Amino acid sequence: MDQEHQVVVVVVPLPAQGHLNQLLHFSHLVSDRQIPVHYVGAATHNRQVKNRVHGWDPSATSNIHFHDFPIPSFPTPPPDTNASNKWPSHLLPMFEATAHLRQPLAELLCSLSLTCRRVVVVHDNVMSFAAKEATLIPNGEAYSFNSCSAFGVMFYKWEALGRPSFPGIESLNQDLIQLSFEDCMTSDFMDFLIKHMEFSELHVGEIYNTCYPIEGKFIDLVSQEPFLKAGNKQWAFGPLNPLSVNSKSVHRCLEWLDKQSPDSVLYVSFGTMTSISDAEITAIAIGLEKSEQKFIWVLRQADLSDVYANQEQGIQIKLPEGYEERVKGVGMIVRDWAPQLEILAHSSTGGFLTHCGWNSCMESLSMGVPMAAWPMHSDQPRNTMLITEILKVGVVAREWGNRKEVASPTEIEDAVRKLMASDDGKDMRKRAEGLGVAIRESASKEGKSTAEFNSFVSHISRV
């Protein structure tokens, strides 16, 4: 395609791992269609997302252009493991610093607009300033990327509209409708959202990392007014993560999994933004030990704003004395970055104890792995409802209503046993495996997700 007729995509993520990762997966998919992609962010966050990506051939990124934009220094406080609200407040200064990406983004868009037929900006829904900049060039248009489930977004929008009555909501279980969003976020972050979503009405379409086998009803609901602005378009073409994993590096946990029986190992990880108190770490440790189930536990501090800063000062999370020796052969503790997608794809992995961040949910669902859900903040309580109450492919390990109390080892033990060693757990696993098959079929050449992605590519490539 001649340069003057070219369509380019500019991706603007929020610099948190789950957001960076989903939009890099999206960038790979677009790049595979021979559309140049420009991925923008601070140098440290671009480095982070490239280093941590799993499942893609590193040589397949030649059509993705990373732009390391400078941002001024900002406070980098450590995570507060004892905070009553689990939302990662220590990252807020970093999020606020993203406002400084606006000027270099504007300059990039202006430059691209001179040689490209259309400049397509796909921005994290929080980073709505990118939509404003897209409107300031004659051949620009913006699309909002939702890094949450359609189910979660529907509830956020419904709450913001004052909970109006309509058939889609009324058909849901009343207990689901009444669950409060209280404490999902801090008031400071809510203020940030209000400020940074100032231009959210300027995009012309919305994108979801989900698919019809997972939440078709809710995809259809959020495509209707009042959730979607009249005239705007919507696409749902997840899962964005690779469905066949061909890793060239062999992590020690994968070697250990190779020696285990099918569906026998519980994978335990609470993501990159969750801080857990010492008391809760002890409860998890004892609960896992008493469950007598094999496990891999990724035990890391929450990400700092710069994951490469002060690495030598990293605090190692303490376990009960003698714990690792006692669980040797049964449990593996991983204190570094773990290849989550490969772990979930492994035949020996039979369950996932998770915070229910959407990135983790999509990876687990696409690999057919059932979950034990312990929501911590943000969209995670709603994701937990989707997983356990609607899809019925998981068990609640920790009720949201008990979030201010320290978890007990018995809670963890009971949830793990139910998921891994009960008839109910077997039924969940069977449903999860069936859902995984349906998800992969949706992402196949003739599937619904592929058709949705083709529709998006055709739309942005239109003449």
Scan for tokens 């069936």, then name that residue: 434
Our answer to whether residue 38 is catalytic in this structure is no
Our answer to whether residue 424 is catalytic in this structure is no
b/e code 223-255 from CB counts within 10 Å (16+ = b) = beeebbeeeeebbbbbbbbbbebeeeeebebbe
* Backbone dihedral angles phi then psi of residue 376, each to the nearest 5 degrees: -115, -40
Nearest to 267 by CA among 337, 366, 334: 334
List CB contacts of 205: < 8 A, sequence separation 6 or more. Answer: 143, 144, 232, 233, 234, 235, 459
- The three-point CA angle 295-297-301 to 5° equals 170
Asked if 247 and 54 count as a contact pair (C-beta separation under 8 A), the reply is yes
DSSP state of 318: P
Ordered DSSP codes for 23-63: HHHHHHHHHTTT--EEEEE-HHHHHHHHHH--SS-GGGGTT
Asked if 395 and 422 count as a contact pair (C-beta separation under 8 A), the reply is no
Active-site residue identified among 90, 124, 346, 377: 124
Active-site residue identified among 19, 90, 203, 377: 19
Asked if 10 and 40 count as a contact pair (C-beta separation under 8 A), the reply is yes
Q: Distance between CA atoms of 270 and 297, rounded to whole angstroms?
A: 9
Residues that are catalytic: 19, 124
